[in-house]
Chain A
Amino acid sequence: MEKILLKNIDKPEAYKLENYVANGGYKSIRKALEMEPDHIIQMVKDSNLRGRGGAGFPAGLKWSFIPKDPTLQKYLCCNADEGEPGTFKDRAIMDKDPHLLLEGMMITCYAIGASIGYVYIRGEFEYGASMLEAAIDEAYEKGFLGKDIFGSDFSLDLYVHRGAGAYICGEETALLESLEGGRGQPRKKPPFPALAGLYAKPTVINNVETLGCIPAILEKGPEWFKAIGPEKSPGTRICGVSGHVKKPGLYELPMGVPLRELIFDHCGGMRGNKPLKAVIPGGVSAPMLVEADIDTPMDFDSMAAKGTMLGSSAVIVMEEGTCMVKVAYITSRFFSHESCGKCTPCREGTSWQTRVLHRIEHGEGRPGDVELLESLCENIFGRTFCPLGDGAVMALRGALKHFKEEFVYHIQHKKCMVDS
């Protein structure tokens, strides 16, 4: 299969501009600059490209919400705050093929009429941030960024903004707050960022992988893109596999490849050939699936139909013998640690949930704790300001749905049901 996103990743010094060009790069932006911006938006709409950050929102539609008024300053923010546990795909693009992201951003900025773009990268990715900055410097030197790029009358400045350790900044309005120099707490929507985003100006926020698809869509057309994978959820996807498989890593595959194929063909199967117990298909916010579900195709709609989500397509594989109480505890600890504190159900609920799971995990569970957890889920889900609280609930509900007896056993016997 032809790769779109990781095609250059194993080539020597792919991060250099001259090598990106030699590998066919920066052709699409030249082509774009000869097109009407609206035509590009239509192409991306026609391609059915859906956001790779997690939510799967149609990218072209998002762009089309930007007002056409040419006197308004507009912004593009690339969401590179990769933090959903299990996810490590965007990092690969930024570390090894930063010009792919830059070209995607250039085309997007031209299409939406933005003259300034930011890459919001999580602070821990210092290496990726420095690679991006070096790539941006190279692009300026060559006249690919700055005034009148590629001899057109389009001018563009791109900058890197480093986060400083906060998962919540992957939520788009929290990201904007952070870019404006504040605490990364989500904003009330509406207004949506397309109308009032960065500095209250129209703003598009797209994930790294989403933007990485744009040059190929421009080059080969929406019909070509739509023909890869399911029509309503097309393209390739970078699946990041971790956990108990023989060959963890990144696999770029057409959307809709079944989990089974990913785990047993591409990743070589289970480590030590142990049976598969559970798999999280899209980062820890996505409810886990069990062995019986792994023929489900990895696309947005098929995963939703199974009651989970494709999310960031971060696949965490767990073998027989993994204690699900511990898994639930670790996941919950993460969400309570990352709760921004803005709204009560999330701030209080996730930490309460974590305390209960901690005591069950450490042999101090009390009768009624499972019911308490279920009631906490009830009181968090759908009642929080942003989806972080929902993520905490979905993760826990997934574990309780399939493995409730392990929680009950842990409480009654003060120890693990499984022999891990």
Chain B
Amino acid sequence: MLTEKTLEKIKQIQKNYHSKKSAVMGALMAVQRDSGNNLTREDMDAVAKILDVNPVEIHAVAGFYTMYNWKKPVGRHHIQVCWNLSCSLLGAEHLISHMEKTLGITLGETTPDSMFTLTTAECLGSCGTAPMMQIGDDYYEDLTVEKVDKILADLRARS
């Protein structure tokens, strides 16, 4: 069930376009953000109804873009470590294995307390400050193992 708040956001997004279908991406993201960063089949179908688009087309869009989390639920903090070339040259793999060890999970998994999901990302456009990662909307740059430990501890303390 979409909340009033989400429905209002979708209404606002629609104003940016002449075509209802153009609001699909923004609507899906609004729904995801208001649903703990996850997208369910039911919510996708609700978006289809609002925007008057065939549900299949909505599923196709959700399946095409990497930022829609519908395959399996992600945790409260979604860690995406860039492992493209610039970050890899400066030690991204080392950071990834360090985080796997610290969090006790492997890439693609979520901690049992649903606090962290650890995945990789392909170039997040922050190459001059490599290695870097994105957690939620925030960028963390010029990373070292010590910095990563502190970031994770701070997020845990905040939650």
- Taking Cβ atoms with an 8 Å cutoff, the residues of A that contact B are 82-88, 90-91, 122-127, 159, 161-167, 178-184, 199, 240-244, 248-250, 280, 284, 314, 316, 318, 322, 326-327, 330-331, 334, 337-338, 340
Bound form: Cα–Cα A91–B134 in Å: 15
Is A334 in contact with B128, judged by CB distance below 8 angstroms?
no
A82-B125, A244-B89, A316-B89 known; A127+B137 contact, CB < 8 A? yes
Q: Are B23 and A181 in contact (CB under 8 A)?
A: yes
Candidates B16, B29, B64, B122; contact of A123 at CB < 8 Å: B29
Chain A residue numbers with a CB within 8 Å of B121 are: 124
The answer to whether B125 touches A83, judged by C-beta atoms less than 8 angstroms apart, is yes
Q: What separation, in Å, do the CA atoms of A383 and B64 have in the docked complex?
A: 23
A224 to B59, CA, bound (A): 51
- Counting chain A CB atoms within 10 Å of each CB, the highest count among B23, B61, B121 belongs to B61
Q: Which residue of A lies closest to B86 (CB)?
A: A242
Contact present for B25 and A163 (CB under 8 Å)? yes
Are B19 and A180 neighbours in the complex by a CB distance under 8 Å? yes
- From residue B135, how far is it (CB to closest CB) to chain A in Å? 12
Residues 11-51 of B contacting A (Cβ, < 8 Å): 16-19, 21-26, 28-29, 51
CB pair A243 B86 closer than 8 Å: yes
B66 at the interface (CB under 8 A from A): yes
B65 touches A163 (CB 8 A): yes
Q: If the complex has contacts A164-B25, A181-B21, are A124 and B127 also in contact, measured as CB distance less than 8 A?
A: no
Query: Which residues from B are CB-within-8-Å of A337?
Result: 122
Point out the residues of chain B lying under 8 angstroms from A164, CB to CB. 25, 28-29, 65-68
Pick from B85, B134, B137: contact of A331, CB below 8 A: B85
B residues adjacent to A (C-beta < 8 A): 16-19, 21-26, 28-29, 51, 53, 57, 60-61, 64-68, 83-86, 88-90, 121-130, 134, 137, 139
In the bound complex, residues from chain B placing their C-beta under 8 Å from that of A83 are 123, 125
Decide: B64 and A166 in contact? CB cutoff 8 A.
Answer: yes
The verdict on A162 contacting B128 (CB below 8 Å), with A183-B60, A330-B85 known, is no
Residue of A nearest to B127 (CB): A242
Within the assembled complex, what's the spacing in Å between the Cα atoms of A181 and B89?
36
Known: A91-B126, A249-B128, A330-B85. 16 other contacts (CB 8 A): A86-B127, A87-B123, A88-B128, A123-B65, A162-B26, A179-B22, A180-B19, A180-B22, A181-B53, A248-B128, A316-B85, A316-B89, A327-B85, A330-B88, A331-B85, A334-B122
Q: A124-B134, A159-B16, A337-B122 are in contact. Are A241 and B57 (CB under 8 A)?
A: no
Contact B25 A334 (CB under 8 A): no
Question: In angstroms, how far is the closest chain B Cβ from the Cβ of A25?
Answer: 25
* Chain B, Cβ-Cβ closest to A183: B64
29 A-B residue contacts at CB 8 Å? A87-B123, A90-B125, A122-B125, A123-B67, A124-B67, A125-B125, A161-B16, A163-B65, A164-B28, A164-B65, A165-B65, A165-B67, A180-B19, A181-B23, A182-B21, A240-B127, A240-B128, A242-B130, A243-B85, A243-B86, A248-B129, A248-B130, A249-B128, A314-B127, A316-B85, A318-B89, A326-B88, A327-B85, A330-B83
Whether B128 lies near A241 (C-beta < 8 A) is yes
User: Which residue on A lies nearest to B87, using beta carbons?
Assistant: A242
Whether the Cβ atoms of A87 and B125 lie closer than 8 Å is yes
Which residues of B lie under 8 Å from residue A338 when comparing CB positions?
A: 122
Residues of A within 8 A of B65 (CB): 123, 163-166, 184
- With A and B bound together, what is the CA distance between A125 and B134 in angstroms? 10
Q: Which of B24, B29, B127 contacts A87 (CB 8 A)?
A: B127
Whether the pair B21, A180 counts as a contact (CB closer than 8 A) is: yes
B24 pairs with A124, CB closer than 8 A: no
The answer to whether B22 and A124 have CB atoms under 8 Å apart is no
A120 → chain B, closest Cβ, in Å? Answer: 10
Contacts of B83 in A (CB 8 A): 330
